[in-house]
Amino acid sequence: MTIPPLKRPISPLKSALYAGLTLISTFSYSAAILEGERMHPVQAKNGMVVTSHFLATESAQQVLADGGNAIDAAVTAAFSLAVTQPRSGNIGGGGFMLISSEKDSDVVAIDYREKAPSRATTEMFLDDKGNADSERSRYSHLASGVPGTVAGLALALEKYGTITLAEAIAPAIKLAEEGFIVTPRFSKGLTDTKSRLAKWPSSNKVFYKADGSNYQPGERFVQPDLAATLKRIAAEGAQEFYQGRTAELLVAEMEKHGGLISMEDLKAYQPVIRKPIHGNYRGYDVYSMSPPSSGGIHIVQILNILEGFPINHFGHNAATTIHLMAEAMKRAYADRSLYLGDEDFIDVPRVGLTAKTYAEKMRNDIPANFATPSSTLAPDNPLPYESNETTHFSIVDKYGNAVSNTYTINFSYGSGIVVDGAGFLLNNEMDDFSAKPGVPNAYGLLGGEANKVEANKRMLSSMSPTIVKKDDKNFLVTGSPGGSRIITTTLQVIMNVIDHNMNIQSAVTAPRIHHQWLPDEIRIEDGISPDTIHNLESMGHKVTQKPSMGAIQSIMIKDGMMYGGADPRRSTSLAKGL
């Protein structure tokens, strides 16, 4: 892929922007209305940014306003989210980025997923009786994989951006050093997680006041250690995180508490440029993340199965539509449990899993009007042979570039452990491995030998940054957090636009459903008709209403206009255009 450099200077960002109090008056701005008339997307012609935090959106939007491209804005947004949304934005985790340029038909995927430390072993999360110990894999220093975010963002900027890493980090430094105003969601998150965070002195001093009390909405939150870390990275480059003072602080944290990440692990870490998964749905080209994400393969697999049904005729969230979606989902998730893992370690039958012929075989096995018990389903033969608190953002620019990025530290606030003196949270992504094949992880997902713990291996993910193209033109840029529900959340926004002709805000806001094979239930959000639920239950489906799923940030490009849809499920989300 070739994205011609712009080499335009980026002007200093306005300090008022970071206080979140004023908006740039020289550009057209309108926010998606999330109450009442909440189905109207933001419209723009020269660029669009949709993130899960308004301060990150505004930081990235200013980069576009100053002539930067989508990749410049994406890296800026990612570092800003690491400051303003520490529960999921990060420099201590990893993720995936898709980049598409209309000047080049290729779509590239950057894999900056975390890796297991070199001293990791298959049995490291088993107790003396051979049972999986979730405390070790989730809430200890052993839970952390080698972080990839800083290296991945720097690679994206170096290959496809037009500004320097220091320029991209500058807004984040300002937000960390001068602070930002605490929102109700931020305050509640720290209150809800206090028992887990406050037990670590390094975390307690960052997230709570000196007297132990909580930060309240309207107060200013400052992170001097994180600001110092970001300044070092800005001055010395990405290698500072992996070989400099920040690396020394991270390794000291590990050595003090029995963790495994070493200086050698950090020095050896490299992001990877991969070929994305590609499928076609009703004439639209769908590009999504390849392994070690399972997202792209199974989005395409489910779409392939559903393509043979007249989904638009059945209607949005009608009983028949949901029945067929659930049946397709459970078959894909059954396959996920056996076949998916890090392709650097195993052979994933990606061609077979995404083949139209394989989908036809599965489609023909779906009953028309009754549920297939999950207990009767097993991973099929497709020969030839990803936390709830992840965050996603989508960005497009006026030059024809699009970025879809999803990154995470896994749980809300990751392991709960801040690197003392460095100010950032450690991930707990090691729980995404199969600690013991056949035992579900925190999201209820089963895994097998393909995703067992191995040294230097990337753990399986559900993160699914996705770009849909029509006639070689960017059409839809989307992705979501949500653990095991990322795949189905992203799937439904694609279907809502293509099958049900929704505008992007309606597609993002509409109630969602989810089935992941095991447990054998259709999970639904509030808003599904009671009559529909009754009809599904009469088919033999177990239907369970649970809290909202995902927080998908999406952009649709059509007829020269850009339409941004911010997910109202995350109160700080913001779409903003030029």
Q: Which residues are catalytic?
A: 390
Which residue's entry shows tokens 């896994």?
Answer: 410
| Three-class SS state of 135 | helix
In 3D, which of 427, 417, 18 has the Cα closest to residue 206?
417
Q: What is the DSSP string of 158-221?
A: HHH-SS-HHHHHHHHHHHHHH-EEPPHHHHHHHHHTHHHHTTSHHHHHHHS-TTSPPP-TTSEE
**Gyration radius (Cα) of the chain, Å:** 22
Token pair, residue 171, equals: 């807004």
Peptide bond into 367 cis (omega under 30): no
Alpha-carbon distances, residue 409 vs 89, 94, 186, 399 (angstroms): 8, 7, 17, 32
Q: Do 155 and 271 meet the contact criterion of CB atoms below 8 Å apart?
A: yes
Q: How far is residue 457's CA from residue 459's CA, in Å, rounded to a whole number?
A: 6
Q: How far is residue 307's CA from residue 162's CA, in Å, rounded to a whole number?
A: 40
Q: How far is residue 137's CA from residue 131's CA, in Å, rounded to a whole number?
A: 12
DSSP annotation of 9 reads: P
Q: How far is residue 361's CA from residue 366's CA, in Å, rounded to a whole number?
A: 9
Q: How far is residue 35's CA from residue 31's CA, in Å, rounded to a whole number?
A: 11
Task: For residue 12, count other CB atoms closer than 10 A to its CB.
Answer: 10
DSSP annotation of 21 reads: S
Task: For residue 457, count other CB atoms closer than 10 A to its CB.
Answer: 20
Q: How far is residue 249's CA from residue 235's CA, in Å, rounded to a whole number?
A: 17
- For 310, counting Cβ atoms within 10 Å of its Cβ (0-12 exposed, 13-18 middle, 19+ buried), the class is exposed
Q: How far is residue 565's CA from residue 71's CA, in Å, rounded to a whole number?
A: 19
| Three-class SS state of 280 | strand
Alpha carbons within 13 A on the beta-carbon side of 6: 23
Phi then psi for residue 535, to 5 deg, are -65, -40
Q: How far is residue 99's CA from residue 466's CA, in Å, rounded to a whole number?
A: 9
Phi then psi for residue 136, to 5 deg, are -70, -40
Alpha carbons within 13 A on the beta-carbon side of 422: 26
Q: Is the dihedral of CA 441, 447, 448, 452 positive or negative?
A: negative
